[in-house]
Structures are given as C-alpha cells and as structure tokens.
Structure 1
C-alpha cells in the first residue's frame, strides 16, 4: 500500500519518509541497545526518518548513533533540576516523561514509535494515551524476570500496568518464539498480536571486526569468556563457583576466565573471586566496544543466565566459530542452539553442571569443535541482519498503514 502519511491525498506531493521515534532508556552496551543501534544504522532512509528518544543521554554506544538521527533526552536535564528531584521524590517521573514525550510526538509529527525494553514500553504507552500514535513494543527479556525486578513492592499493580502497556501497542515483537509464549503466559497477550523477529547478525561485520586484533593472553592458559551485563540475572556467581570447583578440586589451574561487560554486581563478584582464591584465574575485561577478537581467542563462550530473550552473545560466538555452553533458561538459548545440536545446554543455577561441562570441553576439545560448523550454518540461515531489519521495516509500514486506514 502507498502511504500518503498526511501529505496531499491527490498524489501531487511525493510521500515523505515515515518519522519513526525509537525509544530506549540509554545507549548502554547491552544487547537491546546494540540491536536498536543496528536499526538506526540500517533503516532505509528513503522510507524512514529515524529519531531517538532516551531517558538518559549516555551509554557506551551513544557516539555510534548515526549523525542524521536527532537525539531527544528532556528527562535527563529535567531530573537534575529542583522540580525534577521533587518529581522523583513523589514518584511522578513516569507522568512527567509521558508529557514530555507526548509534546515531542506532536511537535515532530511522529508517525510511529518503536520502543525497546520493558520500562520504555510503560513510558511510551503512557505518552500515547496523551497523544495517540501507532506503537510497536519490542519485548527482549522474560516479562516474569522484569516484573520480579521492578515490581517487587506492588507486583499486582505492575503486572496490570505491564499487561495494559503491551496490550495497547499496535503490535508487539518478541525476539524468540519462546519469549512470545512467555508474553502469552505472563501478560495474557494473544499470540496473533505478537510478531517474532529474531535478532540479526551481520556476518561480514563480525569477520571484519574479529580480525582487528588478537588479545595478548598467556599461551599456557585455557581461556574462556562470558560477555554481557554483570547483574544477578546473568549468573556470573555460578560461573565463579564452577571455576572454584575446577581449580581447587579438579586441579585445572590453567583455566582463565575473561569477564567482558559492566554492571552493578562487579564489586561483589570481585570480592567473591578473592575470597575463593581465584584472583589469578579471573580477568575483568570491562566493556569492550569490539568483543569479537575475544570470542575468537577463547576456547569456549559460557552463558549462565537465569532468563533471556534471545541472547546476542550466543549468536556472536557462533558466528566467530567459538564453541558455546549455555544454561537452558527461558527462553532463547535452546531455540538458538537448535535443542543442543549447536552447543551444550545445562540447567540454570547449577554451578556443578557448568563445571562438568567446562571440564568436558577441556578434556574433549574435538567433540566441542564438532558443534562449530552446524552452529555457524544456523546463524547464517536463521539470524540474518538483513532479514531482521526488513521485518521491522515491514511492521513499521503495516502499523502506520493500519492507523491511517482507521482514521
């Protein structure tokens, strides 16, 4: 369908590109932010004009936002004012942000919103009640985990707010079939409201960036890596406990774990590593703008999460031809690993299972390498960045067309 998008309906004026407001909390280095950055970079500018809304104008990826994408973060400045601090104190932040976004939707003549992350979906839903706008809400994490994290004090209220926010979206996307099922189970959404659009991997870009450098790691060590935000849900504590078993009970003192990422649990985990006498076996790599050489230099990628949506790190490691070990958590790892044909799965929260699997990888490297060709092929066939971006573009056009048809 050709969209007039508010211009002259007689066809004398050419249609302008859709003005799409992408909304997320920050441009930190997490998977949700990296996937949104990919959309900002790759969106067809003949059809779409992207704009970016942030709660806080910060993040490791902020300087990678394309120069033609205007960035709006009015809450960031407001919250530092006296009035802003009062709004926070009296828990009026979401009300203020909704009014700020609604004004922007009107002033910038936004045609459609694409929000990504749980809290941002709540914000955009509130803004759209003030200024109705077609909205796509991308769910990228298990809603049960998000509700447990943010709704501890008023769980019933938060579940009601979340259900309403997602239910009032024009469409909801989930990055895995398992996550779509979780949305149905936890938030009572209908399956036909949810489109599954997997995260996309640019294999040519992965190859290019993986060759940029080689980490200067000791050759006499057996190196494995984790990549991701360092918080309770990512299960780093269980990896530390597994490492303690391997080093102190298994005598595998050649192991060195490279922890890539940042997050609130770093100080606690560093203290625990020292208490477990593992300081010489853990390297805190911090945030890495280019983690791909670290994947390639590692013998194994370990994902120990308690829940996921569709973890980019598994796809990235598979693209780098690195064997992977993951917890079989809801909802993405089993789907990515094709029921274990592309890597090893163990139960979440089980440090002994992690230790046994890592020890097996050390003892039988050829068996673990045998996963690699199948894993790489799966990324090539099922997780193309071109197909992922095209699916989002199609959905943006569909929801906007439906909105104009209803007017």
Structure 2
C-alpha cells in the first residue's frame, strides 16, 4: 500500500437519514479511506447520518453543533477558514448548496467536490413551477462554483448537464463504492425468520424507503400475479409512510399471508444473499445501490427500466430483465423467467467488480486532488 500523504486531509460533509443508499456508499468510502490511512474529518449535523459504530483511526468526528444543514453554514465556514482541509466532499443537493455558500464565506481555497446521487429532473417534476425554477437557478449558480460534480451513472450525468448547462468535463461519472471487503461476512450472517430456512419456496426481495418513488405497489401487484403460477413469498426491507398502504394492497390482492415488511434492517445483505430474486420497482433513481449490492452477492435481479442507472448496471438487460416502469404484468413475467432460469452467480459477481470500493475510491481521490491518485473507474461527461 502506498504511504499516505500526512499533509493532506479530506473534509466530508454529509446529512443523511441514517439508513439510505447514500449512507451505505459513504460508509464504504470512509472505510476504504481508513484502510489507506488517509486523514478524514467527518463533519456531523446533529440527528443525521451516516452513523458509524466505529471509525477508522485516521477518521475523526467534527460536530457542527446544529440540527439543520442551513444552520451549519456559519460553523462550516469557520471550520473551512481555520482548519483549511485540502478538499471538501459533500453529497445531496441541500448539503451541496450549503457547502458552496460556506466555502464562499470562508474564502476557502481547497478543492470542493459535490455529489448528486439522483436523476435531478425527476425530483424536480414533483415540485411546483416556482420551486422548480428556483432549484434550477440554484444548481446553475451554486454548483458551478465547485471544482467538479460526481454522479453515479451516465444517465444522471446527462440529465444534470442538461439542467445546469455546465462546462465540458465538469460533471464526472464515478461508479458508487458498493462492493466492500466486509460484504461477504455480512451476507453470511443468519436471518432469524423461518421463510429463509425453507429453500423449497422462492423468496422475492425488494428493499428501500416505502415511498411513492420506489413504487413497491407495482412489485406487490407483480408478486400477486407470480403467485398464480407458483408458491413464493415476498419480503420488502425498509420503512416509510407507504407501509400501511402497501399492507392494505397486499390484503386486497389476497397475498398478505405471503408478504412480510420487517421495516428497516441493519444488515440487508444477509437477506439479499438468500433471496431467489431481487426486484427493483422504482419510478426513478440515480444509480440504485441495492441493484449493485444484489449483483455483487450473485443474486438474480429484475428491474424497472427507470431513469437512471438500471439499464447501465444491468448492461441493457444482459445481467437481468428490464421492464417498463409501473408494468406489473411484465414484471411478473420477468420474475417467473428468472426463477425458472437464473443466470450464473459468478457472472453477476464478476460484473459487479466495477463497483468495488477500491476502484471508486481511486476516482474520488483523483477528483479531490489527492497526490498521485489516478482517475480509476471515473469518466468525464461532455457538456
């Protein structure tokens, strides 16, 4: 391993739910930076993730003393002005905007790199006209003051370039750091539920926030169709406001006895590794982490062909069927095909190596200006 540059320090400014895909990939990135003994300051907003049971020795917590991202701006500006980290990495739009404002207030001279993990135009569709205009103006005005913006898929990159009108090479596609050294051990942990002890009955698995964007209603409808053909069970990991509605739908379709929603689970990989098929039913994504995780564990997948990411991750359907968004009948047929003829486990795992944390970390560190680090798996996207 290369000797770390002791004079270089990364500040990582995040404010997550504590159980999202962003949490998992940033935990993976921090873990990889720790393995390389790279100095990291984890700037924390009270009551927000990511949450770590234990941090690497080279990573230290820096509480910002506020419960909201915008309230952190004065403290963040003070930190940047006095500590002068070599680079600042942020994720999610409101955090990105706050970081740009704070860096301007501080006269910060280090590298500022933002990350956007979603397809921005799809998020804007759910806003009112004035909110959309304000958001687009904010992205164009503030994001352009950073050194680069990282996105996880080519589709998300093209979308952001179109909205922001950014200069050539400003938006960079970097695969998410998903496949970590700990993944196999986590996948091998026991699952304390009788369904997972009976391999004779297939388990269909979904995972994510129980919200409209994830469209688990389509998955439940597809599952009800699959059950007309064969005995199987459905497990959806995650919590959210749609839980009661989804349980009601399962009741209406008379499959509630075969559907289990356990809520948030700290280790989804043990469930993924034992599932017969993993299904992504989302209306939109940036580049779905759960799809990469399932592939890395060798679990067959079916996905909605939503913007953006699934088509790239599944190599236009070579690694798993893609179905139209919201099409429960097509999804059911795809699930049945995969159950009848699952792809080779090794082929899925080999395809997921592009999402290994070491490769992603190289690309992140290159964009952050870490001495001697090449771009690795990242790609720049033309404006």
1:288 aligns with 2:268: no
Q: 2:24 aligns with which of 24, 31, 34?
A: 34
List per-residue Cα deviations over 1:253-312 (Å, max 9, x = no partner): x22111112223223322333333332121112222222221121110000111112211
The DSSP-based 3-state class of the residue aligned with 2:368 is helix
Matches within 5 A, 1:6-405: 16-26=6-16, 28-43=18-33, 48-59=38-49, 61-66=51-56, 68-76=59-67, 94=70, 96-133=71-108, 134-149=111-126, 154-202=131-179, 204-218=181-195, 219=198, 221-247=201-227, 250=228, 252=230, 254-362=231-339, 365-366=340-341, 369-380=342-353, 382-397=354-369
Question: Aligned in 2, Cα 1:47/1:65: closer, same or farther, shift over 3 Å?
Answer: closer
List per-residue Cα deviations over 1:70-123 (Å, max 9, x = no partner): 1324221xx6xxxxxxxxxxxxx73x4322321222233333210011221121
RMSD: 2.7
The DSSP-based 3-state class of the residue aligned with 2:330 is helix
The whole-number CA distance in structure 2 between the counterparts of 1:343 and 1:384 is 20
The whole-number CA distance in structure 2 between the counterparts of 1:243 and 1:159 is 39
Question: Aligned in 2, Cα 1:29/1:152: closer, same or farther, shift over 3 Å?
Answer: farther
List per-residue Cα deviations over 1:123-143 (Å, max 9, x = no partner): 112212212333100111111
> 1:10 corresponds to which residue?
none
TM-fit CA distance, 1:336: 0.9
The whole-number CA distance in structure 2 between the counterparts of 1:294 and 1:24 is 27
Greater helix share, structure number: 1
The whole-number CA distance in structure 2 between the counterparts of 1:340 and 1:240 is 22
Question: Aligned in 2, Cα 1:64/1:345: closer, same or farther, shift over 3 Å?
Answer: farther
The whole-number CA distance in structure 2 between the counterparts of 1:59 and 1:228 is 16
Question: Aligned in 2, Cα 1:394/1:160: closer, same or farther, shift over 3 Å?
Answer: same
Question: Aligned in 2, Cα 1:358/1:152: closer, same or farther, shift over 3 Å?
Answer: farther
Question: Aligned in 2, Cα 1:283/1:205: closer, same or farther, shift over 3 Å?
Answer: same
Q: In 1, are the aligned partners of 2:120 and 2:159 still within 8 Å (CA)?
A: yes
> 1:85 corresponds to which residue?
none
Q: TM-score, normalised to structure 1's length?
A: 0.81
The whole-number CA distance in structure 2 between the counterparts of 1:51 and 1:258 is 37
The DSSP-based 3-state class of the residue aligned with 1:302 is strand
> 2:379 corresponds to which residue?
none
Gaps of 5+ in 2: 374-383
List per-residue Cα deviations over 1:322-369 (Å, max 9, x = no partner): 11001111111111111111111111122221122123334xx22xx2
The whole-number CA distance in structure 2 between the counterparts of 1:379 and 1:170 is 29
Larger relative contact order (Cα-Cα within 8 Å, sequence gap ≥ 6): 2
Question: Aligned in 2, Cα 1:151/1:166: closer, same or farther, shift over 3 Å?
Answer: farther
Question: Aligned in 2, Cα 1:191/1:342: closer, same or farther, shift over 3 Å?
Answer: farther
Q: TM-score, normalised to structure 2's length?
A: 0.86
Q: In 1, are the aligned partners of 2:278 and 2:294 still within 8 Å (CA)?
A: yes
The whole-number CA distance in structure 2 between the counterparts of 1:356 and 1:398 is 48
The whole-number CA distance in structure 2 between the counterparts of 1:64 and 1:226 is 28
The DSSP-based 3-state class of the residue aligned with 1:52 is strand
Q: In 2, are the aligned partners of 1:17 and 1:45 still within 8 Å (CA)?
A: no
Question: Aligned in 2, Cα 1:319/1:123: closer, same or farther, shift over 3 Å?
Answer: same
The DSSP-based 3-state class of the residue aligned with 1:355 is helix
> 1:83 corresponds to which residue?
none
Gaps of 5+ in 1: 1-13, 80-92, 402-407
